[in-house]
Structure 1
Amino acid sequence: MKQLGIVFFVIFALYSCNTIPESKTKSLFNGKDLTGWHIDVPAMDENPDTVNPFIIRDGLLVSLGTPGGHLITDSVFQNYRLVVEYRFAGEPGNCGVLVHASTPRALYGMFPKSLEVQGMHENAGDFWCIVEDISTPDMEERRGPKEEWGITEGKKRRILNLTDGSEKPLGEWNTMVIECVGDEIKVWVNDDLVNYGFDCTATKGQIAVQAEGSEVEFRKLEITPVSELTKSE
């Protein structure tokens, strides 16, 4: 019986290490207000009456697109899986989710130091390096000539995603999953693996969504802790 108890304990321990309790998944917005977030919109510096481009509407987090800026979590996150459900309800346009965000306004006086996962219509899943860097397979093919790579203004900071046609038709909800574990980042759009990077120069930071010209609705921003043992293959 003692040996059986030991076996059971080992199995239980292994199982516990390789599963994530559902209770650890949490929403990053409460559907009512912007608790847990702060706004960084340069236009508000000179004119406090500037319209806030980030609102809660009908339980959805909405980026109105203008004026340009970012909605940034107060908390810093590391080793997680972020599930984002979003759509362009009107005209197609541009938006993105930034991970490992840190120094504000590090690029073009607006973008925080981070790694952007692109949400732009028909480009979802591209990486944009914003004063942080990442490597991918076939990077020269997807980023351009190596001598032009960089992480600041004027450099080739965009790394194209791996697929075409992963997005839903305009107006329908897309599901983007961003998994950040260690120095790796994986991105799925509607269950298609659309990008994978490694040797990221940051492994933790804040999460941000953009106001970058187009109205975007978010109905889910849920985060779940992920360990090296449970990351997706």
Structure 2
Amino acid sequence: MVIRNLFTILFFATVTWNGTSQTTIGLFNGKDLEGWHIDVPAMDSIPEAINPFIIRNGMLVSLGEPQGHLITDTKYHDFRLDIEYRFSGKPGNCGVLVFASTPRSLYRMFPKSIEVQMKHKNAGDFWCIVENIEVPHMEERRGPKKEWGITEGKKRRIPNLTDGSEKPLGEWNHMRIECLKNEIKVWVNDELVNHGYNATASTGQIALQAEGSEVEFRTVNLTPITTLSK
């Protein structure tokens, strides 16, 4: 696995783009999975198991099965992630994981991370995956405090703030995830749908899920956020 510090990428972008301190990086090149690796447990032991992440008509497609993750080789911190996605067939489940680290930490499937949900009609929910995050009105949104947790059998979901932010099935949605220090903000189609803080991580890889439903991605773009002291 190649691990590069974000500032190395930022320096390269700054030189290339005449001193611009914030330059969008296309994480998906439209041709192949360069810069990513897969972690699909079924492929360890089932010879006929396929890679559920493919390129089709210039789009990155998660076929949904077998379940697993497509993970960036690089770790990132302080960034905006802009993703255009749609469920091309039946509505279903998928997600973007940020601050991802130790693989297969939950249910021997999910890497340690914080998930930003893409599930149809739940886009923007947070799911705590062996990492935690806080939001305003925690007990109202997450349920009784004694049931909270970040591992199997615990209340790990923190619902989003809105209804109706997603486009009709088959249309493209734009999700923006802003990660700055240990704070995460999420917009769906330009509407702020979640805001969390005091996350237990502030850096890590980015992952896309295969979680039972086919999802098409036409852009996966990252913009570093630089905080320059005066």
Do they fold alike, i.e. is TM over 0.5? yes
Q: Give the TM-score normalised by the residue count of structure 1.
A: 0.88
What is the match of residue 60 of structure 1?
Answer: 59
CA–CA separation in structure 2 for the residues paired with 1:193 and 1:21: 27
What is the match of residue 92 of structure 1?
Answer: 91
- Contact 1:181 1:228 (C-alpha < 8 Å) held by counterparts: no
What is the match of residue 159 of structure 1?
Answer: 158
Q: Shift in Å at residue 29 of structure 1?
A: 1.0
What is the match of residue 146 of structure 1?
Answer: 145
Ranges of 4+ aligned residues in structure 1 off by more than 4 Å: none
Q: Secondary structure at the match of 2:205?
A: strand
What is the match of residue 204 of structure 1?
Answer: 203
Listed as ranges, the matches of 1:1-233 within 5 Å are 21=20, 24-228=23-227
Q: Shift in Å at residue 23 of structure 1?
A: 6.8
Relative to structure 1, is the Cα distance of residues 147 and 165 closer, same or farther in structure 2, using a 3 angstrom cutoff?
same
CA–CA separation in structure 2 for the residues paired with 1:220 and 1:32: 12
What is the match of residue 15 of structure 1?
Answer: none
CA–CA separation in structure 2 for the residues paired with 1:153 and 1:208: 20
Relative to structure 1, is the Cα distance of residues 22 and 31 closer, same or farther in structure 2, using a 3 angstrom cutoff?
farther
Structure 1 portions without partners, runs of 5+: 1-19
User: Structure 1: which amino acid aligns with 2:74?
Assistant: S
Q: Secondary structure at the match of 2:204?
A: strand
Q: Secondary structure at the match of 2:175?
A: strand
User: Structure 2: which amino acid aligns with 1:53?
Assistant: P
Q: Shift in Å at residue 228 of structure 1?
A: 4.1
What is the match of residue 5 of structure 1?
Answer: none
- Contact 2:31 2:55 (C-alpha < 8 Å) held by counterparts: yes
What is the match of residue 8 of structure 1?
Answer: none
Q: Shift in Å at residue 49 of structure 1?
A: 3.6
Q: Which has the larger radius of gyration?
A: 1
CA–CA separation in structure 1 for the residues paired with 2:55 and 2:135: 36
- Contact 2:62 2:214 (C-alpha < 8 Å) held by counterparts: yes
Q: Shift in Å at residue 21 of structure 1?
A: 3.3
RMSD between aligned residues: 1.3
Q: Shift in Å at residue 124 of structure 1?
A: 0.1
- Contact 2:22 2:225 (C-alpha < 8 Å) held by counterparts: no
Q: Give the TM-score normalised by the residue count of structure 2.
A: 0.89
Q: Secondary structure at the match of 1:204?
A: coil
Q: 1:144-172, CA deviations, whole angstroms, 9 ceiling, x for partnerless residues?
A: 00110000000000000000000000000
How many residues are treated as equivalent by the alignment? Answer: 210
User: Structure 1: which amino acid aligns with 2:102?
Assistant: T
